[in-house]
Amino acid sequence: MTGILTGVRVLDLSRMLSGPYATMMLADHGAEVVKIEDAVGDTSRANGPFRDDDPDLEWAGYFVSLNRSKKSIVLDLKSDAGRETLRRLVQTADVLVENFRPGVMERLGLSYESLAEVNPRLVYAAIRGFGDPRTGTSPYANWPAYDVVAQAMGGLISVTGADRRHPLKAGPGIGDVFAGMVAAFGILAALRAAEATGKGQFLDVAMYDAMLSLCERLVYQHDFDGSVPGPEGNGHPLLAPFGLFPAKDGMVAIGVVDDAFWCILAEVMACPEAAKDPKFATRAARRANMALVNQSVSSWTAQYAVSELTTLLGGRIPFGPVNDIAAILADPHVVARGMIQTIPHADPDKQSWRVAGNPLRFTANPAPEPTTPPRLGADQALASLSQLPTVDTKALRNAFGAFATGVTVITTRQSDGTPRGFTANSFTSVSLDPPLLLVCLAKSAHSCDVFSTASHFAVNVLSEAQKDLSGLFASQSPDKFLQCNWSSGHAEMPILTGAIAQFTCARHRLVDAGDHLILIGRVEGFGTRTGQPLGYFRGNYFSIGLERDLVEAAAAAGSRIGLILAREDGVLLKVGTTGQLSLPLASSPKPSLEALQAELASQGLQPEIDFVYAAFDDRQTGGHAIYYHGRVAGKIPSEYRVVPLMTLPGVALANAAEAQMLARFAADFRNGTFSIYHGNETTGSVRKVSVP
């Protein structure tokens, strides 16, 4: 089962409750959460309680509950090696969470700013007692804090208890838990921003602030009526009856806000006249007579057992029994909602653990089954594998630009290792640093779910001799890989034998795009071989390699052969004896592409040719003109210039057709989509061709 956060990678440096609770919320829904621990481990590992079948005290309930479905590696962040490993892990992470005091990570040389240089998309979440100076310096910034401190300073304890002389701390660690929930929300919001902008950010949550926001009523009460709210006991300062009321064998909760509910309660209490009595009929009246209302309801509820009150009031007014854990475990609601989750024990011969489940429910992405919490350092292999595969960006650029993108087959392996693949008409290069490419997945495709959740995939660019493979992988044949030759490449991805190029990628991002999904991959390995790609246009396959034959035939008929060679954001032009500019042309009387390439190479230039960019009849000369698209490297000799594309409209060219063609080239360059022109020197048609 795939969680809604599958593909999100979180580095969790936090300890105890606030940070681990935030990352638990993420892990429960499919995020890969990797705990970064020191040699002793998260403090909660030793907190207990421990079961009787655990004499070595390995599995504390505190730790099991908060750290299910996570991984663990041990790093000494005080060592150079440990810090370097963390930086490598950050390269592939989406989120980092820590709950140290301000300055700890800075002193380790691992500040947000330094890690953002490693990964600009990183969302860095810090949960501190009193916040981080980046967003507002507290006078208590360096104070340590736990739940009880946050409850006390944030106002919760001031309104909990019977009276001001007997304040009470709330039982659960609300000061930590609520801060963790706020952090989880903030992380998802920052991830959404990073998806849109490509930039991460620092997220700051102060436990004090979180508690104050939880106790929001204190602020508006004081502002509106000048009061200083005190302990509320089991009631409510503004509503009645609203609180806890006694039963023969326990307590029940009743919350009446609307007058309609008061009428129902009055009827059940056999006091229908109370519904119309001016002292009780309205919310304001009941508040004014709060003591009398609460006393009347208490006297009535005390006559009945909890089960009897449940029969009388359940489902009719806001009502519920005060449950202890025994009652909760027996409650059919808890069973129906799956709110008690079973965690597999690390020892399969021992009884599983039970913990509180995650309250979030998604219809399309149910939470995956929780997995066993990690032993300390159980996933240490992640530390040694954290170095991203090294990619030669120059070689990758050459591979991306080696051909006009033709038909491709995208391959992967599903969760059981079975190879899967489908035919796509192209892929698109996105970035060299980091090395990224993208492919599009139709949401209606049978393999969409497999590819959208796969950790890796491969792009196989078919050769002109592999037309049958294109049809095979476009079909619904269940045994595609039995009908072709292939091998396992990097990350065990299926690589088709004979493909002229292959790019193996780790999943980087998945982006919704209408009836398609855009799958962005980070290139981890690639290779090319000599050959021509298989093209596809308007329902028909074609061989891109045929263009060389056409050029040779045209050359024999006296054609002009030239090159449009890009260099960064400019184009190479030749300077004539009179200072006029023109594109590089092959020498007559028998012009050829090879001769033109050789001529440029003799002058220290390194042209790389992609495809025919324009082919047209030149009525002024009676011949043909064929221009290739490509790139050029090397030192520019004095008789050539690289002219910025943005200045081309103001550059005088010797040939009007070349000027018109370069104007189109400049537009294609800006849009990133190139096209082939066919016609004459003034009018013709344009057919687009994708070039990575």
pLDDT digits (tens, 9 = 90+) for 225-253: 999 999 988 999 999 999 999 999 999 99
Q: What is the pLDDT of residue 658?
A: 83
CA angle (73, 134, 203) in 5-degree steps: 50
Tell which residue, 523, 468, 467, has the closest CA to residue 493.
523
From the list 238, 220, 222, the residue with the least C-alpha distance to 288 is: 238
**pLDDT value at residue 351:** 96
Confirm if 675 and 611 have CB atoms less than 8 A apart: no
Q: CATH homologous superfamily of domain 242-323?
A: formyl-coa transferase, domain 3 (3.30.1540.10)
For residue 685, the model assigns a pLDDT of 47
Is 349 in the active site? Answer: no
Q: List the chain domain ranges.
A: 9-148+172-225, 242-323, 393-537, 545-689
CATH code of 9-148+172-225, in short, is 3.40.50.10540
- From the candidates 176, 204, 209, 668, give the one annotated as an active-site residue: 176
> What was the pLDDT predicted at 692?
38
Tokens of 454: 């796969």
Q: Cα(692)–Cα(673) distance, rounded to whole angstroms? A: 9
Tell me, what amino acid is at 368? P
What pLDDT sits at residue 538?
Answer: 46
User: Where does residue 424 rank: exposed (0-12), middle (13-18), buried (19+ CB within 10 A)?
Assistant: buried
Residues in the chain: 692
Q: For tokens 């992988």, what's the residue?
A: 473
3-state secondary structure 165-225: CCECCCCCCHHHHHHHHHHHHHHHHHHHHHHHHCCCEEEEEEHHHHHHHHCHHHHHHHHHH
Query: Residue 617 has what pLDDT?
Result: 67
Whose tokens are 């000599």? That residue is 530
Distance between CA atoms of residues 224 and 207, nearest Å: 26
The DSSP secondary-structure symbol of 19 reads H
| Phi/psi-derived region of residue 331, left when phi > 0, alpha when psi is between -120 and 50, beta in every other case | beta
Q: Are strands 242-247 and 250-255 parallel, antiparallel or unpaired?
A: antiparallel
Fold adopted by 545-689? Nucleoside Triphosphate Pyrophosphohydrolase (3.90.79)
pLDDT computed for residue 426 by the predictor: 66
Residues with pLDDT less than 70, the chain: 1, 385-390, 397-405, 425-426, 535-558, 589, 617-623, 649-650, 670-692
Token pair of 165 as six digits: 């002389």
- Domain 393-537 of CATH type 2.30.110.10: yes
**DSSP E strands, 474-555:** 486-488, 494-496, 501-513, 516-528, 534-537, 540-543
| Run of H or E residues at 247 | strand 242-247
Task: Give the pLDDT of residue 54.
Answer: 95
Contact 533, 407 (CB under 8 A): yes
